[in-house]
Structure 1
Amino acid sequence: MKISIERGTLLKAVSQAQSVVERRNTIPILANVLIETQGDGVSFRATDLDIEVIDRAPAQVERAGATTVSATMLHEIVRKLPDGALVGLSEDAASGRLVVTAGRSNFSLATLPREDFPVMATSEYATSFRANAQVLRRLFDKAKFAISTEETRYYLNGVYMHVATADDGPVLRCVATDGHRLARIDAPLPDGAQGMAGIIVPRKTVGELRKLLDDDDIEITVSVSETKVRFATPSITMTSKVIDGTFPDYTRVIPQQNTRRLEVDASDFAKAVDRVATVSSERSRAVKLSMEDDRLVLSVNAPDSGAAEEELAVAYADEKLEIGFNAKYLLEIASQVDRENAVFLFNSSGDPTLMREGDDASAVYVVMPMRV
């Protein structure tokens, strides 16, 4: 194998591949990236046996071939090369090593046989549809903060993507919850997605997927089977196993009878929560919200370190209410609001609270209160 490739193009391809690779591996080949020439280009394939990423890039191919090399090592070398450099990758037949050259720099890297590299089995995808990157990014970005990190509840360790029925018809919906907070985000249902089975996309896959969705203009092809999901752009294909489990009936925890309505500037609210939470040594310290006559008072009382209080002008016309929340949860939910105002709907100090972005019902958040 012998190819030449522009440094920026190579860095982008190798970055996506190496981020999938686990830092600690008991199987040496899983630390490597598989480099294969393909016509007038080259592909970089990496896997951790649960996710597989293939990144294709244009290159000058002088001699076809394939090899595997440490993904992290190659990424670090390319990252440190000067901008605009032309990078040469060639396999030394005598030593079996991969020679990386750029200008006066020369590296010789150990390789492992490409035959040892595990390739994820292909799957028959029952459903396939196309969606704009911007739409998918909103669905996953707004839901992912609520993914559970509790390994025993493995079925909550991802985002549940499925077809649901909203007030105005069928939608593509993403839901995540950890039992303390919940995010439910809707988007118009893409053509071809009607029969899609609900799947739980794992936390790591959601993080890796984000890197595919930076370009607003590209269309992503989403293919779904019972055991796998594939996201493909013209240059990158990411295939992931889905979580084998049943997502709980989240509709039961979304309150329908909350009538006490608080409307507040989302940015001002988030900054005020952040300020009053400063006096607490624990990020999980409860912030108390006291509402009455278009006034909201945020307060924290930490016996060991002090107390803080801040007042905000809000729209609130219901009877007086005091309720406490985990400061971290409030900040995470408030940071999801793209519109100017956040609307909170309360029932009582002991019941789940609903939050929306203004009048937009396509993004709904639920947070459980704390005792204060």
Structure 2
Amino acid sequence: MRFIVDKNKLTEALDITAGVVAKKAVNPVLQNISIKTREEGGIEISATDLEISVIIDLDAEVIEKGEMVVLNSLIRDIVKSVDEKTFEFVEESAGKIYLKAGSFKAEVHSLSKDDFPHINIEELNTAPSFFIQGSTLREMLEKNIPFAAKDDLRYTFNSVYFEKENLELKTVSSDTKRLSLAKTFIDEGIADFTMLVPVKTARIIKDILGDQELEIKILNKKTGFVYGNITLISNQIEGKFPDYKMVIPKETHYNILLPKEIFASKIRSIAPFLSGEVLKVVLSFQNKKLTLYAEETEIGRGEASMEVDYEGDTLDIALNYRFLTDILNAVDKGDIMIKIWEPEKPIVFIEKDNDRFIFVTVPMKK
């Protein structure tokens, strides 16, 4: 096998496969990628951890057809380190691959192509599908991913929940203490569905997406994502996502509008007084004023205030600092609306005049 490929295009592909290959694997082949020539020209780069698989088609000058299996991290490091425009790959004998780029030469070991798992891309051909603008889904996933559970043992929460109802598509994530909901409309007439996509898959898709259209193919227990020259197939997580609609208050007693940048700066100013696991920030609303404070017995107390459009009795709410900053990071510039039913009930945050993105967090005990 022998081919010549553009360095920049190869680097982009290897960055994607790096997110798929298994970091720790009982079977070492899962840390490798398959590179093989395509009948229609060019090469095909594949990676899998048996849960998620990706196939990337690249233009290349194919001199001799074949297939090779090489360690992704090694090839990626080499390609990024050598300052040349193209790379030549040559496999003259089993187990050895030669790389050439300008004056640079290297010999790396390879595995047998028979050891690399087969990726069944043909099953996507007949799957029902719909299209969505890549930038739209990327924005939705950017809002969702920080709110998914970090604990891999809670598989249902270590995911992004997709729900299509009529012409509305919603994506939801939660770690049980906070929630992020994003929604958009799609023009496709695909049947309604729900599915749980692993957060690892969501991260990879988010990083791939640009302004092109993305095709999403729905299978029984898998999902296919086709974006330009990239096809990703992911297992869905089995299980039932909790009824997120029960968490979002349908009515609120207080709707308080805050300038996001000023609010965020006040929170940052009291951050030095937060330590340990608690990280509690208290928001105290009074007539036309919001006072924020953090207090730690061994450190002291920090306090900051700002003018707000609030009238009524004193209203105190305690929130987790990290949860609050995650919400503020997810909200675009402008004003943010805090919607409160009762101080002990879930608190809703939305962007002013934009209910496409809804964030919910559970208050802490004061």
TM-score of Structure 1 vs Structure 2, range by shorter chain: over 0.9
1:209 aligns with 2:178: no
Question: Which residue of the partner structure matches residue 172 of structure 2?
Answer: 175
| Counterpart Cα distance in 2 of 1:342 and 1:253 | 20
Q: CA deviation at 1:331?
A: 0.4
| Counterpart Cα distance in 1 of 2:92 and 2:288 | 74
Q: TM-score, length-normalised on structure 2? A: 0.95
Question: Which residue of the partner structure matches residue 356 of structure 2?
Answer: 362
What value does the CA root-mean-square deviation take over the aligned residues?
A: 1.6
Question: Which residue of the partner structure matches residue 317 of structure 2?
Answer: 323
| Counterpart Cα distance in 2 of 1:229 and 1:35 | 23
Unaligned ranges ≥5, structure 1: none
User: CA 1:209 to 1:228, structure 2 compared with 1: closer, same or farther past 3 Å?
Assistant: same
Alignment of 1:179-194 (within 5 A): 179-193=176-190
Letter in 1 for 2:182: I
Letter in 2 for 1:197: F
Alignment of 1:8-27 (within 5 A): 8-27=8-27
| Counterpart Cα distance in 2 of 1:116 and 1:33 | 11
Letter in 1 for 2:31: A
1:301 aligns with 2:295: yes
After superposition, give the CA deviation of every residue in 1:287-316 in whole Å (9 maximum; x if it has no partner): 000011221111000112221111122222
| Counterpart Cα distance in 2 of 1:5 and 1:283 | 50
Q: CA deviation at 1:134?
A: 0.9
Q: CA deviation at 1:267?
A: 2.0
| Counterpart Cα distance in 1 of 2:332 and 2:277 | 24
Q: CA deviation at 1:97?
A: 0.8
- Indicate if the aligned counterparts of 1:199 and 1:226 stay in contact, CA closer than 8 A: no
Q: CA deviation at 1:365?
A: 1.1
| Counterpart Cα distance in 1 of 2:23 and 2:145 | 23
Equivalent position SS for 1:272: helix
Letter in 1 for 2:246: R
| Counterpart Cα distance in 1 of 2:279 and 2:172 | 26
Alignment of 1:18-167 (within 5 A): 18-38=18-38, 39-82=40-83, 84-93=84-93, 96-122=95-121, 123=123, 126-164=127-165
Q: CA deviation at 1:96?
A: 3.2
Equivalent position SS for 1:316: coil
1:371 aligns with 2:350: no
Equivalent position SS for 2:234: strand
After superposition, give the CA deviation of every residue in 1:13-39 in whole Å (9 maximum; x if it has no partner): 111112211222210111110001113
Q: CA deviation at 1:347?
A: 2.0
Alignment of 1:224-239 (within 5 A): 224-239=218-233
Q: CA deviation at 1:126?
A: 4.3
1:341 aligns with 2:318: no
After superposition, give the CA deviation of every residue in 1:95-154 in whole Å (9 maximum; x if it has no partner): 531111111111111111111111233536642011111111122111111111234432
Q: How many residues align?
A: 363
Q: CA deviation at 1:52?
A: 0.4
| Counterpart Cα distance in 2 of 1:304 and 1:255 | 37
| Counterpart Cα distance in 2 of 1:57 and 1:192 | 32
Question: Which residue of the partner structure matches residue 352 of structure 1?
Answer: 346
User: CA 1:115 to 1:192, structure 2 compared with 1: closer, same or farther past 3 Å?
Assistant: farther
- Indicate if the aligned counterparts of 2:168 and 2:184 stay in contact, CA closer than 8 A: yes
Q: CA deviation at 1:339?
A: 4.2
| Counterpart Cα distance in 1 of 2:36 and 2:352 | 50
Moved more, 144-153 or 10-19: 144-153
1:269 aligns with 2:263: yes
Q: CA deviation at 1:337?
A: 1.1
Q: CA deviation at 1:319?
A: 3.0
After superposition, give the CA deviation of every residue in 1:235-294 in whole Å (9 maximum; x if it has no partner): 111110010111111111111121211111112212221221222123641100001122
Equivalent position SS for 1:245: coil
| Counterpart Cα distance in 1 of 2:50 and 2:183 | 30
Q: CA deviation at 1:327?
A: 0.3
- Indicate if the aligned counterparts of 2:274 and 2:280 stay in contact, CA closer than 8 A: no
| Counterpart Cα distance in 2 of 1:316 and 1:230 | 48
Moved more, 109-118 or 265-274: 265-274
Moved more, 97-106 or 268-277: 268-277
| Counterpart Cα distance in 2 of 1:103 and 1:21 | 29
| Counterpart Cα distance in 2 of 1:351 and 1:10 | 51
Q: CA deviation at 1:190?
A: 3.3
After superposition, give the CA deviation of every residue in 1:311-332 in whole Å (9 maximum; x if it has no partner): 1222223432001000000000
- Indicate if the aligned counterparts of 1:293 and 1:318 stay in contact, CA closer than 8 A: yes
Equivalent position SS for 1:240: strand
- Indicate if the aligned counterparts of 2:165 and 2:193 stay in contact, CA closer than 8 A: no
Unaligned ranges ≥5, structure 2: none
| Counterpart Cα distance in 1 of 2:218 and 2:360 | 28
Q: CA deviation at 1:40?
A: 2.5
- Indicate if the aligned counterparts of 1:289 and 1:324 stay in contact, CA closer than 8 A: yes
User: CA 1:328 to 1:89, structure 2 compared with 1: closer, same or farther past 3 Å?
Assistant: same
Q: CA deviation at 1:191?
A: 1.2
Q: CA deviation at 1:159?
A: 0.6
| Counterpart Cα distance in 1 of 2:22 and 2:127 | 30
After superposition, give the CA deviation of every residue in 1:142-191 in whole Å (9 maximum; x if it has no partner): 111111123443211101001136xxxx4100011111101111101231
Percent same amino acid at aligned positions?
26
